Structure 1
Amino acid sequence: MAIFLIVICVFLLCQFIFTIWNVKQFPTLEPVSSPSSDENIPLSILIPARNEEKRIEACLQSIVNQRVLPKELIVLDDHSTDQTRAIVERYAKTYPWIYVKSGKTLPQGWLGKSYACFQLAEEASSNWLLFLDADVRLKTGAVEAVYKQLCIQKTGMLSGFPEQKTGTFLEHLVVPMMMFTIGCHLPVKWVSTSNNPHFAAAHGGFIAIEKDCYLAVGGHEAIKDSLVDDMALARRVKQMGYPFTLASIHPFVYMRMYENGQEVWEGYRKNIFPGVNRNIALLSGVFCLYTILYLAPVICLLIALVQVDFTNICLAILCYGLGVSIKATIDIENGRTSAMAFLLPLSILTLIAIGIASIKIGLKKEGYVWKGRRYE
């Protein structure tokens, strides 16, 4: 057992060193101390909304509270059956640059969000398109900070992971694991410097893309049947040789993706297996690696405690501590508390359980259910 734990320690130490370096490679949005103009900037903020009455108002309010306003904000009401449209129309009466459009009937072969974004892009009149989810909130100075980076980049795509607000226990356990996976395994520096589409990550809640680039890569029409549309769009941008930036945006943007455990389970179940292109070998390999690195030391610790094996107790605790340190580093870098890092083994177990459920649905072709729609 001691040799096994020593090997894990070495791997985790290397992972820890890589993670510390990797999370520092994210480009950061720079704040603008004093906006240079009172005019609306040439940016179209586009929000697909389907039954978002609980979220859309806070999103809109965070935008109208900005010091610098976008040229236009367009919300696509995607056949909502609640008060989503009425809320947006109320804002549109006060702010003439806010518009609400009715979504068309979903055509055969399209997924709902991609078709909504496609319609929004057709309506937009600015050079830069910023797709936001209804649960995204912009902090003060976000619009000018984003636009400053877009002007430097000139074309291509920019995305980033908002600060994740969590409330329920399952949210605390699972939602931060998205950034844990990226921080541990995706060489962030290569996201911007390599055209290899494998080095890509994006968050569908925050995607800025230059309109000519969007049209050149085929927009959402080219990825109309992709469940993980954000990753698919990012890969197309990189394949076509356009600049792509995965930035640290959490100082300016935050969101609460899910509001209860059921939403966490269904949301991640929908994304995990399709997110690796339904590659069972890859996902199984990741889960095996996580089991060895983060779960096995806990099991070894329990065995060592029963056997009163002081050496193995110390080695197991060291492995556990390194795993916690990796998780804490990533959490802190993304504006979160490090307290939940101590529950990393439980987070790993939960993630694996959701992943298995995702694989099961994918293989049986039962279809993933999200917001009243079924996706194959």
Structure 2
Amino acid sequence: MAVFLIVISVLLLCQFIFTIWNMKQLPVLKPVPFSPGEPISLSILIPARNEENRIEACLQSIVDQRLYPKELIVLDDHSTDQTRALVERFAETYPWIRVQSGQPLKRGWLGKSYACSQLAEAADSDWLLFLDADVRLKKGAVESVYKQLCMQKTGMLSGFPEQKTGTFFEHLVVPMMMFTIGCHLPVKWVRKSKNPAFAAAHGGFMAIEKNCYHDIGGHEAIKDSLVDDMALARRVKEKGFPFTLASIHPFVYMRMYESGQEVWEGFRKNLFPGVNRSIALLSSVFCLYTLLYLVPVICFMIALFQLDVLSICLAILCYGLGVSIKAAIDTENGRTSAMAFLLPVSILSLIAIGFASMKIGLKKEGYEWKGRRYE
């Protein structure tokens, strides 16, 4: 057992070193001098379906900015609540805000992609910034983001907002998005490689230059993709446009889900489709996670029963390295590192959701989200 744990500890040490280096490769959005008279060609586009509990805070964070976008368009995607009325209230005060009614969903399209496509058609700026209704911008976000976009000139920029969590299951699972990015995706290759395999994006915050958007076929080219953000990022890289995955948490935050059930359903909808429905890839990742983060805990309990002091120490070392990896990623993304100590529980939760996602995908039962069913 001791030799086995030594091998795992070496693997974890390598993973720790890679993760620390990898997270430092993310370009960080930084504060820039405020220029109130500077013309800005940026359209903020928000698809909204029954978002009365979220949209007001989102819009308030935008109108509280020092620099306004050229326009802000909210697409009311057949909401049955007060979403439209709340947006119209803002539009009365800020003429650059408007709400647009969504058209009936076309056959072959998924809801969010169709909503984003309509927003892009209505936009009149060089850059399109797609935001989700649960995203909030901190002061200085617009000028910082726009400065980065102007430097990039074309292509696409995305990033993972700081994740606010409330319930215990949110604390366990939501930060695992950045855990997988930090551990497995070489961020440097995201910027430098033209291979679409090296792409990651967050649908809650995606900026794309308008000509680039049309050249890659827009959302119509990915209209049936359940994980639209990743699909759009891959299209950008396939067509040779620059793509940046940036650290945006200093200026952008969100609370994606507000209950354990929403976490389960949201991750279940995305996990299996997110790996292109590859059983081999998802199973391989989960086997690796089991080996690195769960097996040491099992070995610790066995060694404790057998009073094997060397194995106990090695198992604790492995656990400590795993916790250090998670803590480093959490800290780098503006989160507290306290929940890193529950990494094995987070891994178990992620595996359970992953296999539930795989089961639905293989049986073609369809994923349900916000009153719509997705195959």
Q: TM-score if structure 1 supplies the norm length? A: 0.99
* Alignment partners' CA distance in 1, 2:270 and 2:343: 21
Residue aligning to 2:228: 229
- Counting only pairs closer than 5 Å after superposition, residues 141-220 of structure 1 correspond to structure 2 as 141-220=140-219
Residue aligning to 1:371: 370
SS of equivalent to 1:70:
coil
What do residues 106-156 of structure 1 show as CA deviations (whole Å, max 9, x unaligned)? 000000000000000000000000000000000000000000000000000
Preserved contact between residue 36 and residue 66 of structure 2 (Cα < 8 Å): no
* Alignment partners' CA distance in 2, 1:273 and 1:355: 7
Preserved contact between residue 322 and residue 343 of structure 2 (Cα < 8 Å): yes
* Alignment partners' CA distance in 2, 1:82 and 1:308: 61
- Counting only pairs closer than 5 Å after superposition, residues 236-275 of structure 1 correspond to structure 2 as 236-275=235-274
Residue aligning to 1:5: 5
Preserved contact between residue 162 and residue 253 of structure 1 (Cα < 8 Å): yes
- Counting only pairs closer than 5 Å after superposition, residues 1-376 of structure 1 correspond to structure 2 as 1-33=1-33, 35-38=34-37, 41-376=40-375
The alignment covers a number of residue pairs equal to: 375
Percent identity for Structure 1 against Structure 2? 82
* Alignment partners' CA distance in 1, 2:13 and 2:35: 47
Quote how far apart the aligned CAs of 1:361 are: 0.3
* Alignment partners' CA distance in 1, 2:261 and 2:242: 37
* Alignment partners' CA distance in 1, 2:30 and 2:174: 26
Amino acid at match of 2:359: K
SS of equivalent to 2:41:
strand
* Alignment partners' CA distance in 1, 2:78 and 2:26: 37
Amino acid at match of 1:225: D
Preserved contact between residue 175 and residue 264 of structure 1 (Cα < 8 Å): yes
What do residues 254-290 of structure 1 show as CA deviations (whole Å, max 9, x unaligned)? 0000000000000000000000000000000000000
Quote how far apart the aligned CAs of 1:30 are: 1.9
Quote how far apart the aligned CAs of 1:38 are: 3.1
What do residues 201-251 of structure 1 show as CA deviations (whole Å, max 9, x unaligned)? 000000000000000000100000000000000000000000000000000
SS of equivalent to 2:250:
coil
SS of equivalent to 1:45:
strand
What do residues 177-206 of structure 1 show as CA deviations (whole Å, max 9, x unaligned)? 000000000000000000000000000000
* Alignment partners' CA distance in 2, 1:187 and 1:303: 36
* Alignment partners' CA distance in 1, 2:81 and 2:19: 44
SS of equivalent to 2:285:
helix
Amino acid at match of 1:18: F
Q: TM-score if structure 2 supplies the norm length? A: 0.99
Gaps of at least 5 residues in structure 2 are none
Gaps of at least 5 residues in structure 1 are none
* Alignment partners' CA distance in 2, 1:240 and 1:146: 23
* Alignment partners' CA distance in 1, 2:46 and 2:38: 22
Preserved contact between residue 59 and residue 135 of structure 1 (Cα < 8 Å): yes
Amino acid at match of 1:66: Q
* Alignment partners' CA distance in 2, 1:100 and 1:38: 26
Amino acid at match of 1:330: I
Preserved contact between residue 136 and residue 256 of structure 1 (Cα < 8 Å): yes
* Alignment partners' CA distance in 2, 1:282 and 1:297: 23
SS of equivalent to 2:70:
strand
Quote how far apart the aligned CAs of 1:159 are: 0.1
Quote the RMSD (CA, aligned, Å): 0.6
* Alignment partners' CA distance in 2, 1:223 and 1:337: 36
